[in-house]
Amino acid sequence: GNSVTQMEGPVTLSEEAFLTINCTYTATGYPSLFWYVQYPGEGLQLLLKATKADDKGSNKGFEATYRKETTSFHLEKGSVQVSDSAVYFCALIEDYKLSFGAGTTVTVRA
Amino acid sequence: NAGVMQNPRHLVRRRGQEARLRCSPMKGHSHVYWYRQLPEEGLKFMVYLQKENIIDESGMPKERFSAEFPKEGPSILRIQQVVRGDSAAYFCASSPAGTANEKLFFGSGTQLSVL
């Protein structure tokens, strides 16, 4: 079946540092890939997505590229802010079902 | 336009009691999905409902768990005779159509603790 593995946390960074969260997947076919973010006390929000190989999703300074050859969808941001502190989830979709990674908690210190 | 509303935010039950978790979808959304997040794991799909219909319950345990989405009112996830292993965060999501895209929105979740 489909599955997603993402980098374990927690991750603690200083402001303006570079952030990478690794995500790899196992799937039949080529599913759409997503990154969701959950800020403290809120629900999950779609951060970005990519629907086919070599697509790059981007939003709020975050980027991720759909790499078919390495079955990866790593999340990156060049300069994080305190407001980026959250839990980040990598996910893929099969029909209407999302399969999520375990989540990575990111804390950015001023 | 309020988002997906889940209540309660925290629910404590003793073993053997019943737990009822509520989810009010966003206005205009007729599709509801329930996910469960066990400690240290990702969210797992449980059930997909449209108004008055269960479309897919393949992720829901066969016993003690049930879900409904009546014509009027919120969607309810019901867990009978709770056990400690049911302790988890339960998330609800809604969409206007049966797909996950920019129009799929999640609630803040209900944290169920079974003593």
Q: Taking CB atoms and an 8 Å limit, are B56 and A96 in contact across chains?
A: yes
* Residue B99, pLDDT above cutoff 70: no
CA distance A63 to chain B (A): 17
Q: Are A88 and A36 in contact (CB under 8 A)?
A: yes
Measure the CA–CA gap between B67 and B103, rounded to whole angstroms: 22
Beta strand pairing call for A44-50 and A33-38: antiparallel
* Residue B102, pLDDT above cutoff 90: no
SS (H, E, C) chain A: CCEEEECCCCEEEECCCCEEECEEEECCCCCCEEEEEECCCCCEEEEEEECCCCCEEEECCEEEECECCCCECCEEECCCCHHHCEEEEEEEEECCEEEECCCEEEEEEC
Q: Taking CB atoms and an 8 Å limit, are A43 and B108 in contact across chains?
A: yes
With beta carbons under 8 A apart, name residues in chain B contacting A103: 42
Q: What is the pLDDT of residues A19-45, one digit of tens each?
A: 999 999 999 888 999 999 999 888 889
**Cβ–Cβ contact B107 with A under 8 A:** yes
* Residue B100, pLDDT above cutoff 80: no
Residue A42: its pLDDT value, please? 82
**Mean pLDDT for chain B overall:** 92
Residue from the list A32, A41, A102 with its beta carbon closest to the beta carbon of B41? A102
* Residue B1, pLDDT above cutoff 60: no
Measure the CA–CA gap between A36 and B104, rounded to whole angstroms: 11
SS3 for B86?
A: helix
Q: What is the mean pLDDT of residues A2-16?
A: 92
Q: What is the pLDDT of residues A64-97, one digit of tens each?
A: 999 999 999 999 999 999 999 999 999 998 888 8
**Cβ–Cβ contact A28 with B under 8 A:** no
With beta carbons under 8 A apart, name residues in chain B contacting A91: 42
Q: Taking CB atoms and an 8 Å limit, are A96 and B44 in contact across chains?
A: no
CA distance A77 to chain B (A): 21
